Copies of this chain bind each other. A is one copy, B any other.
Amino acid sequence: MALLVQKYGGTSVGSIDRIQNVADRVMASRREGHDVVVVVSAMSGETDRLLGLAREIRQGIDGRELDVLLSTGEQVTIALLAMALESKGCPARSYTGAQVHIRTDSAHNKARIQEIDGARVRRDLADGRVVVVAGFQGVDEHGNITTLGRGGSDTTAVALAAALKADECQIFTDVDGVYTTDPRVVPHARRLERITFEEMLEMASLGSKVLQIRAVEFAGKYNVPLRVLSSFKEGEGTLITFEERSMEQALISGIAFNQNEAQLTVAGVPDQPGVAYRILGAVADANIEVDMIVQNVGADATTDFTFTVHRNDFAKAMAIVEAAAGELRAREVCGDDKIVKVSIVGVGMRSHAGIASKMFQTLAKEGINIRMISTSEIKISVVVDEKYLELAVRALHDAFELEQAPA
């Protein structure tokens, strides 16, 4: 008998029928002898409906009252799921974040969980109940309602699993696991049975948005085994582990890509301290998030500084950088929002040379020009023209033989 924390997202609880479905799944786990704690999101569309009401009152909504408003979305779901369970004969009890003391800091709209008091949940489990907890929300030390920011329900589930020392945290989504790459681009992409936390972090941040990054970090920190499964389809999903893979396993786990990037280059800047700060400081002040940053030393005493931002922020970032360019005595500023980032990810590459060269060779063979390169311990990312996205992903998927399960 295991203790499972199961999390169902907005799509999985998007209608009464689907909530009934979730109740059936939970009860199936109970019949297998497990104790179950369920974390749910707001029904799909509900958060947007509430945001719409708030926007009718004023633009630029944020702060304390927004959390009071949005937290009702999950509260509706927990009540409905508990009712569905009880009507099927399964004892259940619902709790808001405040009721199970999901204590957070006071950063409204993007609070971080500080501690969870699992006593109440444990008591209900001991009494034979399913415990249904509202995701995405908590309470600060003054009793104010907080929210963790969108998608925070994953974090709630992992934090609860950690606090309760659950055997597994199961994240039910509309995909049935983590794939070697997006099956819409590579139809023979393969579902991974296991992936390491670090790989998952890289996959998530690179655009394979199966899980919230913070949830994965949290799971890694507290050694919570995390599994991604489909709400709609039977299957084992993908287990995210904190164990290193053995040597016979694949060097590369998957290929991630991000179509929402734009690139900005400040060329011919005097190569001296403070340049990067002066460019990126202004961008950060405008609340624009920067992804890749690459700086090349040029032949003369100048340097070229390139970075990428979300495509939505491209025009704003260009204006800021152009304003700063004069002061920096840059030769020119240029940008391109018709680019994509493609990355290969795998813990195996740490101990294997030749992965990078194989990647670059594969792209060269297809005549794809690489515009930017950035690497980390377990990933290599390149920026290429948007038009090459599918070609690049398919060529790399074939070259690294990702359709075959590791021996």
Given A61-B83, A75-B75, the answer on whether A68 and B56 have CB atoms closer than 8 Å is no
Most central of A58, A64, A72, A98 by chain B CB within 10 Å: A72
Rounded to whole Å, the gap between the CB of A202 and the closest CB of chain B is: 37
A37-81 interface bits toward B, Cβ cutoff 8 Å, 1 = contact, 0 = none: 000000000000010011011100100111011011001101110
- Separation of A20 and B57 alpha carbons in the complex (Å): 8
Flag if A58 contacts B83 (CB, 8 Å): yes
Q: Is the CB of B98 within 8 A of A80?
A: no
Copies per assembly:
2
CB distance A72 to B65 under 8 Å? no
Which residues 83-100 of A have a CB within 8 angstroms of B?
83-84, 86-87, 92-94, 96, 98-99
Number of interface residues of A (CB under 8 A): 36
Are A76 and B69 neighbours in the complex by a CB distance under 8 Å?
Answer: yes
Query: A16 — which chain B residues lie within 8 A by C-beta?
Result: 53, 56-57
Considering the complex, which residues of chain A in the window 111-146 have a beta carbon less than 8 Å from any beta carbon of chain B? 143-145
A50 contacts which chain B residues (CB < 8 A)?
Answer: 76
When the two chains form their complex, are residues A80 and B57 in contact, meaning their CB atoms are under 8 A apart? yes
Known contacts A64-B94, A99-B144; can you find 7 more A-B pairs with CB under 8 A? Answer: A16-B57, A54-B83, A58-B83, A65-B86, A66-B83, A68-B96, A72-B75
Q: Is the CB of A83 within 8 A of B65?
A: yes
Asked if A210 is an interface residue, CB under 8 A from chain B, the answer is no
Q: Which residues of B contact A71 (CB under 8 A)?
A: 75
Residues of B near A402 (CB, < 8 A) are: none
B98 and A82 contacting across the interface, CB-CB below 8 Å: no
- Asked if residues A58 and B87 are in contact (CB atoms below 8 Å), the reply is yes
CB contact under 8 A between A83 and B57, given known A68-B94, A69-B76: yes
| Interface flag for A349 (CB, 8 Å) | no
Top-4 shortest CB links A-B: A69-B79, A72-B72, A68-B79, A58-B87
A66 and B54: CB pair below 8 A?
Answer: no
Q: How far is the CB of A398 from chain B (nearest CB, A)?
A: 48
Asked, given contacts A98-B98, A99-B143, A143-B99, whether A68 binds B78 with beta carbons under 8 Å apart, the answer is yes
Cβ of A19 within 8 Å of any chain B Cβ, yes or no, is yes
| Given contact pairs A72-B75, A75-B75, A99-B143, A80 touches B94 in the complex (Cβ within 8 A) | no
Q: Is the CB of B80 within 8 A of A69?
A: yes
Known contacts A68-B79, A75-B72, A57 near B19 by CB under 8 Å: yes
